[in-house]
Amino acid sequence: MAIKENAEKVKKYMIGEVVSDKMDKTIVVKIERTFEEPRLHKVIRTSKRYKVHDEEGRAQEGDVVEIYEGSPRSKDKYMYLSRIVKTKSKE
């Protein structure tokens, strides 16, 4: 079985909410997912927080953003900001 050398890796895209923008060029995004537990058939909601590289510092706390997986930038930062889906409403 031959493996293609120039095969492009498919990027994982996720949508989540910015929970922190206090770091320089980095935001923290919370991704929530729901799934049904197989044995008990109970719906479970879990969340995970990702450190995301934001070069221009466009995203602010409360925004809904789209992120994707890429090459590691640091020890625990390997996600990148793709676009801002919805900005926080001004109240």
Instruction: Return the closest-CA partner of residue 32 out of 24, 21, 40, 43.
Output: 43
Which one is the CATH code of 13-86: 3.40.50.10610, 2.40.50.140, 3.40.50.980, 2.40.110.10?
Answer: 2.40.50.140
Stretch 70-74: mean pLDDT: 93
Encode pLDDT of 32-49 as tens digits.
999 999 999 999 999 999
Dump pLDDT digits (tens) for 45-65. 999 999 999 999 999 999 999
Q: Where are the domains of the chain?
A: 13-86
